[in-house]
């Protein structure tokens, strides 16, 4: 994924989770935000992003990302993982997000064709000099 695609992914994640991007990327450690960040980090990792890419996208050090992934997987931390509790929600989110990306790409293609058609029409009516 390109940085722009990652940014769009995070924006869509924020909309679907009814959270602002500023809240998501803040240093606030409210449980709701911590869990939401953990789900996003796992979703980005599932998209095969490197730890550094995830860290850059979230303004976090890659070690913070490692810690979040370990905690989310339940590796040595308490009972039940964030991923286990959020897995269904995460799968729905990813499917919805992929559908949204496909719809946006279709709209871009449509609008690009409209612009080309308008340019052709404008050029057809331009006086020849």
Whether the predicted model's global pTM rises above the 0.85 cut: no
**pLDDT tens sequence across 20-52:** 999 999 999 898 898 889 889 988 988 889 999
- Return d(Cα 43, Cα 75) in angstroms, integer: 17
Q: What is the pLDDT of residue 6?
A: 92
Q: What is the pLDDT of residue 86?
A: 60
Contact at 8 Å (CB) between 84 and 78?
Answer: no
Q: 79 pLDDT exceeds 80?
A: no
Q: What is the pLDDT of residue 70?
A: 82
One-character DSSP codes across 87-120: HHHHHHHHHHHHHHHHHHHHHHHHHHHHHHHHHH
The domains located in the chain, with CATH, are 3-125 (1.10.1750.10)
């Amino acid at each position: 994924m390109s940085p722009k695609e990652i940014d769009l992914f995070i924006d869509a994640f924020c909309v679907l989770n009814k959270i602002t991007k500023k809240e998501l990327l803040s240093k606030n450690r409210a449980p709701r935000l911590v869990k939401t960040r953990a789900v996003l980090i796992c979703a980005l990792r599932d998209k095969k992003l490197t730890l550094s890419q995830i860290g850059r996208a979230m303004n976090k050090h890659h070690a913070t990302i490692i810690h979040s992934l370990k905690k989310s997987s339940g590796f040595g931390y308490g009972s039940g993982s964030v991923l286990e509790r959020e897995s269904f929600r995460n799968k729905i989110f990813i499917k919805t997000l992929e559908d949204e990306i496909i719809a946006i790409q279709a709209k871009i293609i449509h609008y690009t064709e409209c612009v080309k058609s308008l340019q052709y029409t404008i050029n057809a009516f331009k006086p020849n000099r």
